Amino acid sequence: MINITVSQNDNTNLSFSAFEQYQLPAPLSGVDAEINNDLILKFEDEEEAIIYAAQLENLSNELNDKNTPQYVAISDIIMAIRNDEFVQSYTR
């Protein structure tokens, strides 16, 4: 199991509450919240994380307005997944 945290301290304003408010699709293994409201994405393995990021990319391409909070949130999630050390090792 891999947990990827999207921290509000990492140049993102995305929190668990915002993730729920924007009604973004969750990964198959779910999401959770840290005590400080950071978003934790749960994945069975690196491949599941990569597939989820691709699905979010497709969703972001469908959004007409690239300045919406939803678009920014999706971008933040994709970057958190791509920057994860386990995902990076898997894709090399």
pLDDT digits (tens, 9 = 90+) for 27-84: 999 999 999 999 999 999 999 999 999 999 999 999 889 898 999 999 999 999 999 9
Query: Is the model's pTM score more than 0.95?
Result: no
Q: Where do the structural domains in the chain lie, given as residue ranges?
A: 2-91
Which residues fall within 8 angstroms of residue 81, CB to CB, at 6 or more apart? 4, 41, 49, 50, 52, 53, 87
Rounded to an integer, the average pLDDT of 3-17 is: 85
Going by C-alpha positions, the residue among 4, 88, 2 that lies closest to residue 44 is 2
Phi and psi at 4, nearest 5°, equal: -115, 120
Rounded CA-CA distance 76/78 in Å is 6
